[in-house]
Amino acid sequence: MVQKQQTRPPVSRRGVSSLSALEPVDASPFKRPSSGLFVWLTIVLVWLLSLLPWRLWLPAPDLLLLFLAFWCMHEPQRVGLLTAFMFGLLLDVHDSGLLGGHALVYVMTVYGALALRRRLLHFNALVQAVHMLPVFVLAAGLGHIAYAWAAGEWSGWQWLWSAIFTAVLWPLADILLLLPQRWLDDADAGSV
């Protein structure tokens, strides 16, 4: 039995377009990483701001936690779990409370930011805040459970507002902390 060969005209690649053939012009959101000096300067300034007594009000947002999680997600080479642990211990010593309480909360939050990092970098700041809200709530909740266990009494649910306010401030942190990169990228785009 002889089979007939089917002849098809060759398909020109010019007329065919596919979404899978598209490639991004630039995969990175910014051309330059943030300056190490700027990253550490912001963290140290917020740490000094966190030493003021306003932070002892339970619904107050934890700005140091916010900045550590933000920089850990955007600059994981510079800010990581060790940084979160050290600043948590510094706050524990300053508050003269349960040693390791803030360190536990900070390390858990930074770990959550690192675990979600690859996904979150594809979204805008509002969606990132929604994704980080459960991380802030879970870490703060476990920290307050540890405090309640050590103290022998539950302090209430006011800490939940702190986690919510911290997540609400995420878009503002995105605007302010990435502003120098946006300026540099706009200057590079204007010079070409």
Asked whether residue 183 is domain-assigned, the answer is no
Domain membership of residue 192 (yes or no) is: no
Q: Which two tokens stand for residue 45?
A: 């300034």
Domain with 174, as residue range(s), is 36-50+60-178
pLDDT top residue among 126 and 189: 126
Q: Is residue 185 part of a domain?
A: no
Q: Does 189 fall in a domain?
A: no
In a domain, 73, yes or no: yes
pLDDT of residue 59: 85
Q: CA 89 to CA 95: how far, in whole Å?
A: 10
pLDDT at 180: 82
Residue 186, domain member (yes or no):
no
- Would 188 be classed as within a structural domain? no
Look at residue 157 and tell me if it is in a domain.
yes
pTM metric for this prediction? 0.78
The number of folded domains in the chain is 1
Q: Give the tens place of pLDDT for each residue, 60-75.
A: 999 999 999 999 999 9
Task: Quote the tokens at residue 73.
Answer: 């997600």
